[in-house]
Homo-oligomer: A and B are copies of this chain.
Amino acid sequence: MTRTPSTPIADLWPTLPGDARPEAAHRLLQAAVASFAERGFHATTTRDIATAAGMSPAALYIHYQSKAALLAEISQAGHAATLALVCRAAAGEGDPAQRMRGLVEQFTAWHARARTVGRVVNYELHALPEDAYAVVAALRLDIEREVSALIEAGVAAGAFQVAEVRTAARAVTSLGIDVSRWYTDRSTETPEELGRRYGELVLRMLGAEL
């Protein structure tokens, strides 16, 4: 059986422009993701994170003011990377059905691969400080708007039959997000296989002729 390890958090950042974080900050982010995913935000202490990163609690504070600051950076980076993926796919080549297929394939595979980050950013939203929550909520709204706009383009082109665009857009993103809950390294489908199958299921759900 092919096992797919969860994508390390550090893999999120090299793709973002202007990243000049020291290696120690990357280790802290990685340790925070693992701790939050395992025990939840509230049960994790800054000492737990520092220890997992091989540092003293004092060394952690050089890079982050609090565990909430770590959660905020993880959540913003995770959402920004997801929005970038969605925008690229929505603006890709082909007709609306082809672009939607690409979007779902990548959105699904991403949530399978980056499932540990996905659990933290989707299930610890309520623990974000208010200003970080506002940034993340705006990114989430943008993701939903991109998906809605692509559905509307498909409806306008006569390719999709959809009664309620908002509910359909919600179902599309929900299917992908929930992958990070149930996908494990013992799952028999690779992230890419799952993406292809979900792409097919979503196009049918949107009433596309296949």
Q: Does A39 contact B (CB under 8 A)?
A: yes
Size class of the A contact interface (CB-based, 8 Å): 20 to 34
- Across the interface, which residues of B come within 8 angstroms of A126, CB to CB? 38
A-B contact pairs, 11 of them (CB 8 A): A40-B41, A167-B189, A167-B198, A167-B201, A168-B201, A170-B182, A171-B201, A174-B175, A174-B179, A174-B182, A205-B205
- Number of copies of chain A assembled together: 2
Encode contact with B along A183-200: 1 for CB under 8 Å, 0 otherwise. 000000100001001101
Known: A41-B40, A175-B174, A178-B174. A201 touches B197 (CB 8 A): no
- Judge whether A167 and B194 touch: CB under 8 Å: yes
Closest to A124 in B: B40
Report the minimum CB–CB distance from A190 to chain B (whole Å).
12
* CB-contacts of A110-169 with B (<8 A): 122-123, 126, 163-164, 167-168
Q: Does A26 contact B (CB under 8 A)?
A: no
Q: Does A43 contact B (CB under 8 A)?
A: yes
- A50 and B170 CA atoms in complex are apart in Å by 38
Cross-interface CB contact of A178 among B163, B175, B205, cutoff 8 Å: B175
Closest to A171 in B: B201
Closest to A177 in B: B178
